[in-house]
Amino acid sequence: MDIVFVLGESGSLTSRDFELMKSFVSRIVGRLDIDSNSTRVGLATYGETVGTVINLNDHNTIASLQAAVSSLTHASGRATLMHSALEYVRTMMLTSAAGDRRNVPNIVVVLTDGHSTNKTATRVSYQCRCNYHHSIPQVLQWYASFP
């Protein structure tokens, strides 16, 4: 499978929240079969713009991907342009040039506080590609019980 994590960086998310998101992603990555290329993982951060991008073909070991996630820094922005992040993932990251594989399922995991600046555009992007979501408090509650 190909998984892209999308991490919010808006001003309403604290540095502590961002560190928890990084820890969550790193722990999930540690349980995936990345080293044999069964799973590819990408990541994008966003706030007012799309920030750091890790394409699906950038890392082919758990260790290198976890190091890249660990090195992320929180660049707090004023806006939460989730629709732009989802569009970026759809048009730039889920492409063969960025490592997407046509014959495997794509999963996009968005970690945010759930408040998009442009809710209408985000709703359209979300309905086009997603079937299910959780808010940060729900994810963190689940994460706290993660072994």
Arithmetic mean of pLDDT over the chain: 78
Lowest-confidence segment of 2-6, 46-50, 74-78, 127-131 by average pLDDT = 127-131
- Contact status, residue 77 vs residue 38, Cβ threshold 8 Å: no
Higher pLDDT, 63 or 45: 63
The residue-averaged pLDDT of 28-35 equals 92
Output Rg (C-alpha) for the chain, integer angstroms. Answer: 14
Query: In terms of DSSP H, where are the helices of the chain?
Result: 15-29, 62-70, 82-88, 119-129, 136-144
Q: Which two tokens stand for residue 21?
A: 């998101």
CATH of the domain at 111: 3.40.50.410
DSSP 49-91: SEEEEE-TTS--SHHHHHHHHHT-----BS---HHHHHHHIII
The residue-averaged pLDDT of 48-61 equals 89
The tens digit of pLDDT for each residue in 116-131 reads: 554 554 444 444 444 4
Q: Rounded to 10 degrees, what is the CA torsion of 130, 133, 72, 48?
A: 70
State the CB neighbour count (10 A cutoff) for residue 91: 9
Indicate the residue type of 101.
R
Contacts of 36 (CB under 8 A, 6+ apart): none
Q: What is the pTM of this model?
A: 0.79
Count of domains for the chain: 1
The tens digit of pLDDT for each residue in 83-97 reads: 778 888 888 999 999
How many residues are recorded in the chain?
A: 147
| Domain that residue 34 falls in | 2-144
